Every structure is written in C-alpha cells, then in structure tokens.
Amino acid sequence: MLSNSVILGTLLVATALIYEFYCPLEGRRNDVEDVAASWDREITPPARKRSRIAIGVNSNLDLIVSALDLLSAMEVGPSSPEDHSSLTSLSDLEQLVGYSMEHCAGLERVFVDQGLFLKIVEKASSIKHAYHIGGNGALMAQKIQQLVSDVKVMLVGPVGPTLKGLLHKDILTPSLSSSSVDEVHMILEYPKGGTWGKVTASCANRVIFSHDLSNSRLVALEQFQDNLTDFNPDLIVLSGAHLLDGQSMDFQTSRLADIAKLLDSIPRSIPVHWELATVGDLDYFNKLADTLFSRIDSLGLNEQELRSAALAAHANFSKIPSKPPVGYVSDLLLWLMDEYSNRPSSRLTRVHFHSLTFHMVTTLDNGPWTNAKQSVIAGATIAGLQACDTDKIDSEKFELRLKSYQLSANDEQLSETLKYNPRTSAVVQWRRGSVNFHMSPVLVCKKPLKTVGLGDAISSVGLLYSNFADKV
C-alpha cells in the first residue's frame, strides 16, 4: 500500500475534501455532488507503488498568452477557419486558431519560419512575461514529483537554465541534459465563449506551436538510453515523437528507428507508457503508430489523437466525429487494441483515453494491468481540479455534462442509450471480446484557469494508480 507520506499531495487531499459537507446519499440534490461522493467512496490506492520513474524526452518552456490578445497585437484579422499541418505565416496561425475554436480542438503544430516565430515570441513576451514548465516529459515529471514525496524521478530532455529553476528540486536531471538555452513553445489559450470573427468557442482550449531545434530532433533520446541502466527504473514514461512532425521523411524514418531500438532494449518486466500529442501530418502519424504502439505497454491520448490514429491507418469507420461520444470512443479503442495489441510480440495492453467530458481506460483481459477502475477515477478527478486550479470540488464551479451514453455506436447489441447514475457507481464497466473498458465522466470546470498540461497530469495520476504485474 502507498503510505500517507507518499501518495498524491493534491489528489488524495482532493478526494478527502471532494465532498466537503458529507451527508447521506439520499439527501444529495446535485449531480456534481453525487459524482464527487462516488469517487471519494470508491477510490483506493494501488497495491504496489512505483519508486523509480524515468521520464523523457521532451522538455521546454511554455509562454502562455491569450490567443485573441496576441492575434490582435500582431494586427491579424479573422478570416475563414482552416486546419494546417504546419504553419508558415501569421495568416496560417489565425486560421488555425479559428479552426481550433470552431471544433473545440487542442492542436499542436510546427512553425516553419524561425524569424517570424521569434517575432511572435517577442510580441507575446510584451503581453505576458511569465514562463512555465512545458513539454510532456517535463510536465509529467513535475506532476509526479509534486504528488509523490518519496519517488525518485529522472527527467532526461533539453533542460535550459530557466526551466531548471522551475523544476521540482528533487527531480534528477543528468548533466548531459543541461542546455545553455531554453526552447520556447507558444501556448495560445482561448476561453469558452471567446469569439474570433464568426466563430464562438464552445469550450476553453489552446493552440500550441513552436520552432524547436532540440526537441524536434529528439536530441535527448540517446542520453535517455545511456542513463537507463544506472537509474534502474521500475516505470518508464516517454513522449516527444510528435515533434518530428515537420522534419524530412528520411529524418523521421531514421529517428523512429532509433526510438524502436530503445524500446526493444527495455525488459518486458518494466512497463513503458507513451504519451501522445497532436500531429498534423497523417502520413507521419501512421508511421509513428506503426513504430511505437506495439512496442509500449501503455498509451495515453485524447480525442484528436485517437481520431488521427484511425484516419491515418484508414480504419474502417464511415465517419469519425471530431468530438466522439462514449460509444464511438469505445469502438475506436476496440479497433486500436485489436490493431496493435495483436501484432507479433506486441506489448500494448493498456490505453488511457481522456477528453473534456469523460475518460476511458481499456486493458486486455488477463493482461498485466489491474486497478483500471481506480486509474480512471484518479485521472478524472485531477482533470477538473487542475483545470479549476483548486484542491476540492465546489458544485458551483463544476458541471456534469455526460448524462447518458452508449457502449457502442456501431454494434447494435450495445447501442442502447443508457443513463449515467453515479449513485450506483462512479465508473461504468463493460467488456468487448478480450478488452475491458472502464469509463468515468469528468466534472468539467466551468471557468478553467489551466488548459495546458491536463493530459499529462491525467496520465501521470492514472499511472500512479495502476498496478502492473511483471511479465515473463
């Protein structure tokens, strides 16, 4: 069992406070209170804690500004929303922001023009000076170290002087990871109800873009491998392959082969989780998925990345909505598990899906992962708390948007519309073939203060609550 000094300074405090004025279940009048009480009642720590976690390989500084303020400051006017696989101009950027707002989609893209990118950073710095920890690897390392007091976390990635000063003092960063400069990524946030031209955002979200010379080449990959043996981790968490998007096809192929070599060298007794991020080029996404998915034990992704995986692989779905409901996500995750878990020598046995309104964890039946119910509760809990930047659920600040669901959008036997009832259980469980499903809604923050790093926090906490039995 995890000790009181260890587990989740934020999360377990949150679950202790999650319904501050406890009263008998029959007296509850509010869906938010019902869900919070059910989470509090059902969550328990895992049987085994992880003590040494190696994390890499992307890290940077995030400069977070209002998308609408920055575009106005750059004297860019709204035009027609449009997606772009990469950005070459201010026009591309404002069209992508409009597209993101129109579809409520968090997007990440490469900015090709370095000179223009630096001008945007300079303008953004005049609006807001504060830098934050950025990069999936660095964000997950920071979250885990903050939540678990006696875990040893090693972060390998480009760590410049400013980033080093922001990281938790107990995070180990090998000397070879040190960089003389910090890579900067731009985070353009917009609020629910924000307008750009004729588009009004239906949720709060963000657009991320960068011209990153270090992470885009995965310069820390070999450093990560060199430090693994001496560190002797019992969990490995990786990300960063999405940043190869925008590189030449030959370079992508070469670095994906290097990632495959690293993954193939890791003993199967050590679980490997990969955290995805959005990729604009679907051809590259397909290569990434073919290379990585069967070589990892666990995968974290959101609706944009799940949709891209199916589109890139030309999966047999007639239409994939940009915000798929529960039944459609169930179908997509079943396809993903069937596609990649059944390949020869595949390690993939767990997927943690997260979206604004619900989370879903799938595991292979009789596989090494257990405690999926606790994992999905933990992830759903931290999602709302971090978005609202609070340590307790206040029914005035949160809302339950998922009131009903289907277990499948395509299987007629599972297509009945069901009502979600938190008084029965916070988590809905079902099985399709050899795949187990656990789903919990999210208590959505009405006025989010933090949209960056939510997926990384969700996956980090979900992993801390997951049990993994060593495979032989």
For 345, left (φ over 0), alpha (ψ -120 to 50), or beta?
left
Domain closes at, from 156, 176, 210 = 210
Looking at residue 48, its pLDDT comes to: 81
Q: Judge if pTM exceeds 0.75.
A: yes
Are residues 195 and 339 located together in one domain of the fold?
no
Are residues 348 and 206 located together in one domain of the fold?
no
Whether 289 is in a domain gets the answer no
* CATH, residue 72: 3.30.1110.20
Are residues 3 and 95 located together in one domain of the fold?
no
Catalytic residue among 92, 212, 297, 456: 456
Domain closes at, from 142, 177, 210 = 210
Are residues 362 and 405 located together in one domain of the fold?
yes
Whether 157 is in a domain gets the answer no
What is the average pLDDT across 249-277? 97
Looking at residue 453, its pLDDT comes to: 83
Q: How far apart are CA 58 and CA 412, in angstroms?
A: 43
For 273-285, give one letter per residue: b (16+ CB within 10 A) or e.
Answer: bbbbbbbbbeebb
Are residues 373 and 458 located together in one domain of the fold?
yes
Phi, psi dihedral angles at 147 (to 5 degrees): -85, -25
Q: How many domains does the chain have?
A: 2
Q: Tokens 């989010």 map to which residue? A: 448
How would residue 15 be classed by pLDDT, with cut points 50, 70 and 90?
very low
Are residues 452 and 339 located together in one domain of the fold?
yes
For residue 432, pLDDT beyond 80: yes
Are residues 385 and 432 located together in one domain of the fold?
yes
Are residues 195 and 316 located together in one domain of the fold?
no
Phi, psi dihedral angles at 300 (to 5 degrees): -115, 130
Handedness of CA 46, 49, 54, 55 (dihedral sign): positive
Pairing mode, if any, of strands 272-275 and 235-238?
parallel
Whether 29 is in a domain gets the answer yes
Are residues 357 and 320 located together in one domain of the fold?
yes
How would residue 29 be classed by pLDDT, with cut points 50, 70 and 90?
low
For residue 298, list its beta bridge partners: 273, 350
Are residues 199 and 326 located together in one domain of the fold?
no
Q: How far apart are CA 437 and CA 451, in angstroms?
A: 26
Model confidence pLDDT, tens digit, residues 132-179: 999 999 999 999 999 998 899 999 999 999 999 999 999 999 987 888
Q: Tokens 């779905």 map to which residue? A: 317
The pLDDT mean for the chain works out to: 91
Give the Å distances, CA to CA, from 79 to 99, 123, 204.
10, 21, 20
Whether 152 is in a domain gets the answer no
Whether 340 is in a domain gets the answer yes
Whether 53 is in a domain gets the answer no
Are residues 41 and 67 located together in one domain of the fold?
no
Task: Determine the residue type at 339.
Answer: E
Q: Which domain holds residue 197?
A: 63-132+187-210
Whether 417 is in a domain gets the answer yes
Phi, psi dihedral angles at 275 (to 5 degrees): -100, 115
* Whether residue 258 lies in the annotated active site: no
Give the side-chain half-sphere CA count within 13 A for 402: 28
For residue 458, pLDDT beyond 90: yes
Model confidence pLDDT, tens digit, residues 313-344: 988 887 888 889 999 999 999 999 999 999 99
For residue 28, pLDDT beyond 50: no
Domain closes at, from 210, 241, 272 = 210
Whether 248 is in a domain gets the answer no
Are residues 90 and 194 located together in one domain of the fold?
yes
Model confidence pLDDT, tens digit, residues 172-227: 999 878 888 899 999 999 999 999 999 999 898 999 999 999 999 999 999 999 99
Phi, psi dihedral angles at 436 (to 5 degrees): -95, 140
